[in-house]
Amino acid sequence: MSLTDRIAQGLESGWNVTDSALLTQNLTAEADVVVIGTGAGGGTTAEILARSGLSVILVEEGRLYYQKDFKMDEQTSYANLYQEGMSRVTRDGAIAILQGRCVGGSTTVNWTSSFRTPAPTLNYWAEQFGLDELRPDAMAPWFDGREERHSMAPWQVDPNVNNDILRQGCEKLGYSWQIIPRNVKGCWNLGYCGVGCPTNAKQGALMTTIPGALDNNARLFHSLRADRLVMNEDKIDHLEASAFADDGVTPTGIKVTLKARHFVVAASAIGSPGLLLRSDIPDPHQRIGKRSFIHPVNATVAQMPQRVDPFYGAPQSIYSDEFNFRNGVDGPVVTNSRCHRCTRACPAASYPATAKPRSTTWPACPTCSPSSPCSGTASTPKAPAAQSPSATTAVRYWTTPSATTSGRASAKPSTPWPKSSSPPVPKKSA
Ligand SMILES: Cc1cc2nc3c(=O)[nH]c(=O)nc-3n(C[C@H](O)[C@H](O)[C@H](O)COP(=O)(O)OP(=O)(O)OC[C@H]3O[C@@H](n4cnc5c(N)ncnc54)[C@H](O)[C@@H]3O)c2cc1C
């Protein structure tokens, strides 16, 4: 365990942190850059800009929780650290969406698997969409820099039982398997990553980029929700924000106005488009809020001959990408996997991407008729190799990372940084 708590120490040393729950009157503040969200995207951006000498304000709707608050207790942690107390779901209730809502964002509660975007995916983006600057060799120094900053490395400790069963299964079936890289330093292998790391081992934004930004004179407002970006002619002029009480959810009625020359919206894949839509930001191509991607987390449940306590130990330490690229990067898309007649799980390769789940437009098995539902096994098409090989119970989903910037801004950080690819540097205001 890290006995010196980085956050407690920083607060004691005079970091500029405002708990908005304590504000008693409306406030206006100004900086070169206002960064909305303190997760993976916001933390990284804020640290880089603050290190380059720009004045930075960070805005976070969740609260600042740290080691003293991480008590390995699910009931309070889920309520405090997750969006909507971990009850965020899609409109139809079909998919639970896990997202962090605290300083450090989802990186404070995530499971520490730290992968590079796979080379075939980067190459596909380059070839299909002309994103040449994202090719693997161009990205390598950026990945190197982030891996160093967040202490990412393949997990050295033996996997816990359920991860080891995955490894054994792969070996039996002749599938490839690898060890997952994790962003941890001195991890105790407790398995409580999802409720805030009690030993400060997890090197998410809370232990790295947020302290890095605050050490470099950034100011953090927590318990403060970005409501609306306000335009003046063709530029964003200021941000309107509202304070929450120390329960994290009750508005206090206090309003904060933040002015800056640049605004970075890094409020997650759902929070960012939400803010931009509320703000009526010009959207000439009508893309804001139109497409979201979620990263499904499936649980495969089985009765095992031996005892398996999956909650102990690093939650994810073994992976297999055996099926990932069998059909190329853009293999068939499964939109749902149940026949609307027999309601059994069916391999869904032939289902159209437009099919709507849980309705009669949800496709039927080829052999299923209303009067005689099939057994779900008869002559259903063979599942494409790119899909999950088992019928599993979907229990958890999380969203993919996304940090949307309202104007690309960066500078020369002292952390490793690829010289050839420095984005434009905004000038410090006089
Ligand atoms: C339980 C869980 C496990 C995960 N495990 C992994 C894993 O093992 N490996 C992996 O690669 N990824 C994992 N992820 C996903 C990963 O953590 C996210 O993809 C990543 O953190 C997203 O970064 P972000 O900056 O876009 O958003 P976030 O990190 O979610 O940060 C967004 C921040 O913005 C704040 N915010 C939102 N709206 C507003 C507003 N209006 N005003 C002010 N603040 C606002 C939020 O409170 C939040 O703190 C996991 C996620 C979860 C929830």
pLDDT digits (tens, 9 = 90+) for 191-216: 999 999 999 999 999 999 999 999 99
Q: Give the model confidence (pLDDT) of 119-167 as tens digits.
A: 999 999 999 999 999 999 999 999 999 999 999 999 999 999 999 999 9
CA 353 / ligand 1 centre spacing (Å): 27
208 close to ligand 1 (CB < 6 Angstrom) = no
Lowest mean pLDDT among 180-184, 252-256, 301-305: 301-305
**Per the structure block, which two tokens stand in for 345?**
């799980």
Backbone angles phi, psi at 420, to 5 degrees: -70, -20
**What's the one-letter identity of residue 294?**
I
Report CA-CA distances (Å) from 169 to 162, 176, 321.
Answer: 10, 10, 13
Question: Which is nearest to 377 in space by CA: 388, 362, 366, 369?
Answer: 366
**pLDDT > 90? residue 332:** no
**pLDDT > 90? residue 397:** no
Q: Regarding predicted confidence, which is higher, 117 or 324? A: 117
Q: Regarding predicted confidence, which is higher, 185 or 364? A: 185
Residue 422 banded pLDDT, cuts 50, 70, 90? very low
Residue of the CA atom closest to atom 14 of ligand 1: 110
Lowest mean pLDDT among 208-217, 261-270, 336-345, 364-373: 336-345
Residue of the CA atom closest to atom 53 of ligand 1: 99
314 close to ligand 1 (CB < 6 Angstrom) = no
pLDDT of 363: 54
pLDDT of 300: 84
3-class state of residue 260 by DSSP: strand
pLDDT of 295: 85
223 close to ligand 1 (CB < 6 Angstrom) = no
Residue of the CA atom closest to atom 26 of ligand 1: 268
- 337-358 in b/e form (b: 16+ CB < 10 A) is bbbbbbebbbbbbebeeeeeee
Q: What is the DSSP string of 8-58?
A: HHHHHHT-EEEEGGG--S-EEEEEEEEEE--SHHHHHHHHHHHHTT--EEE
pLDDT of 406: 29
**Per the structure block, which two tokens stand in for 37?**
């969200």
Lowest mean pLDDT among 50-54, 310-314, 350-354: 350-354
3-class state of residue 381 by DSSP: coil
Q: Please report the atom of ligand 1 found closest to the CA of residue 194.
A: 1
106 close to ligand 1 (CB < 6 Angstrom) = yes
61 close to ligand 1 (CB < 6 Angstrom) = yes
* Cβ count within 10 A of residue 374: 19
Q: What residues contact 162, with CB distance under 8 A and at least 6 apart?
A: 308, 310
Q: Average of pLDDT values for 360-366?
A: 54
Report CA-CA distances (Å) from 92 to 96, 188, 281, 353, 359.
Answer: 10, 39, 27, 18, 12
3-class state of residue 335 by DSSP: coil
Residue 296 banded pLDDT, cuts 50, 70, 90? confident
For the entire predicted model, the pTM comes to: 0.82
For the chain, give the mean pLDDT.
Answer: 83
Q: Please report the atom of ligand 1 found closest to the CA of residue 266.
A: 25
Question: Which is nearest to 398 in space by CA: 323, 298, 290, 260?
Answer: 298
36 close to ligand 1 (CB < 6 Angstrom) = yes
264 close to ligand 1 (CB < 6 Angstrom) = no
CA 42 / ligand 1 centre spacing (Å): 10
CA 265 / ligand 1 centre spacing (Å): 13
Residues 226 and 275 sit within 8 Å (Cβ to Cβ)? yes
Residues 379 and 366 sit within 8 Å (Cβ to Cβ)? yes
Residues 37 and 265 sit within 8 Å (Cβ to Cβ)? yes
If you ran DSSP here, which 8-state letter would residue 277 be given? Answer: H
Residues 129 and 287 sit within 8 Å (Cβ to Cβ)? no
Question: Which is nearest to 11 in space by CA: 64, 70, 81?
Answer: 64
**pLDDT > 60? residue 394:** no
Residues 205 and 199 sit within 8 Å (Cβ to Cβ)? no
Q: Give the model confidence (pLDDT) of 31-68 as tens digits.
A: 999 999 999 999 999 999 999 999 999 999 999 999 99
Q: What is the second-level CATH architecture of the domain 6-112+184-294+398-421?
A: 3-Layer(bba) Sandwich (3.50)
Q: Please report the atom of ligand 1 found closest to the CA of residue 402.
A: 26
What are the boundaries of each domain within the chain?
6-112+184-294+398-421
pLDDT of 142: 96
| CA angle in degrees (0–180, nearest 5) for 21-23-25 | 140
271 close to ligand 1 (CB < 6 Angstrom) = yes
Which of 20, 81, 268, 318 for a ligand 1 pocket mutation test, highest count of atoms within 8 Å of Cβ?
Answer: 268
Q: Please report the atom of ligand 1 found closest to the CA of residue 226.
A: 42
Q: Give the model confidence (pLDDT) of 225-278 as tens digits.
A: 999 999 999 999 999 999 999 999 999 999 999 999 999 999 999 999 999 999
Residue of the CA atom closest to atom 52 of ligand 1: 110
Upper half-sphere CA count for residue 257 (Cβ side, 13 Å):
9
109 close to ligand 1 (CB < 6 Angstrom) = yes
CA 324 / ligand 1 centre spacing (Å): 24
Residues 55 and 285 sit within 8 Å (Cβ to Cβ)? no
d(CA 60, CA 42): 9
Residue of the CA atom closest to atom 3 of ligand 1: 110
d(CA 62, CA 68): 16
107 close to ligand 1 (CB < 6 Angstrom) = yes
